[in-house]
């Protein structure tokens, strides 16, 4: 499945592997819904969102975009190391065969950023790989009702300790937070940029959300610290 990725502007997904088992309550109406609509009739794994592989897509790296979201409809932490390494070899071969595409950026994202350690030395051989994680809040109490992923504080610690120069944090869907604590957490990670946005499906899933005032307070803290902030779901920021 290759589609224009709404999560990140000017980005397309490339899905040689699909699926995730974190069970985030908001994902059912976004990533999972799109996958079921376009692939569910032909693939049971895509319909159920269970981690599985589509090696036939190895030769279908999207064109027409400088940003490729690898495993955009899943999470790398649920795929075998052998398959992920095969994916990296495919990327390496693609760049060597098409030198004009050497400037493409490949995004790898996980809600368990500790898993990146398994591939870190390989990632470092690619100047055009960027690692991402989602951290919706600094608060951990009650987070188990939202997701089975590692709690936000653990995620932030693992991502911050990762010895890699290009990191991005996604705060989407943003949940209620403590401004000073959350800002210090994000500043310590030292990301290249931060994406911020509210839940895109508020009528289908309810999340504990911050006020607009608090949202913009965090944005201002990050911007003042020199961290680029990109706003998402702008229709909810009015």
Q: Which domains does the chain have, with CATH numbers?
A: 11-236 (3.20.20.70)
Measured CA to CA, the distance from residue 22 to residue 25 in angstroms comes to 9
Task: Supply the mean pLDDT for the chain.
Answer: 91
Average pLDDT on 110-139 reads 97
Top mean-pLDDT range of 38-42, 98-102, 144-148? 144-148
Measured CA to CA, the distance from residue 62 to residue 53 in angstroms comes to 17
pLDDT range class, residue 152, cuts 50, 70, 90: very high
- The pLDDT, as a whole number, for residue 31 is 66
- Among 43-52, 111-120, 139-148, 152-161, which stretch is predicted with the lowest mean pLDDT? 43-52
Average pLDDT on 2-28 reads 81
What would the pLDDT profile of 71-106 be if each residue is shown by its tens digit?
999 999 999 999 999 999 999 999 888 887 778 899
- The pLDDT, as a whole number, for residue 101 is 74
Average pLDDT on 151-170 reads 98
| 4 has pLDDT over 50 | no
Average pLDDT on 197-206 reads 92
- The pLDDT, as a whole number, for residue 10 is 80
Sheet holding 129-134, edge to edge: 11-14, 67-70, 105-109, 129-134, 167-171, 193-196, 228-231
The residue with greater pLDDT, 141 or 236, is 141
- The pLDDT, as a whole number, for residue 67 is 93
Average pLDDT on 134-150 reads 97
**The pTM is what?**
0.92
- Of 154, 157, 152, 184, nearest to 170 by C-alpha is 152
């Amino acid at each position: 499945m290759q589609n224009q990725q709404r999560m990140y502007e000017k980005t397309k997904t490339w899905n040689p592997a699909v699926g995730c088992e974190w069970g985030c309550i908001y994902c059912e109406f976004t990533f999972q819904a799109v996958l079921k609509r376009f692939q569910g009739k032909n693939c049971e794994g895509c319909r159920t969102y269970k981690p599985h592989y589509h090696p036939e897509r190895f030769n279908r790296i999207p064109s027409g975009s400088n940003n490729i979201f690898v495993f955009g409809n899943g999470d790398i932490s649920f795929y075998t190391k052998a398959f992920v390494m095969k994916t990296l070899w495919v990327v390496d071969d693609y760049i060597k065969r098409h030198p004009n595409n050497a400037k493409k950026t490949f995004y790898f994202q996980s809600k368990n950023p500790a898993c990146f350690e398994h591939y870190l030395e390989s990632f470092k051989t690619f100047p055009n790989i960027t690692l991402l994680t989602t951290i919706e809040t600094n608060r951990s109490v009650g987070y188990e009702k939202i997701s089975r992923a590692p709690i936000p504080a653990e995620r932030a610690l693992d991502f911050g300790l990762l010895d890699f120069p290009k990191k991005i944090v996604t705060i989407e869907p943003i949940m209620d937070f403590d401004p000073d604590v959350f800002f210090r957490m994000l500043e310590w990670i030292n990301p290249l940029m931060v994406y911020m946005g509210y839940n895109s499906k508020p009528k289908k899933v309810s999340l504990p959300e911050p006020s607009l005032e608090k949202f913009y307070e965090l944005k201002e803290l990050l911007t003042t610290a020199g961290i680029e902030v990109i706003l998402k779901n702008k229709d909810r920021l009015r």
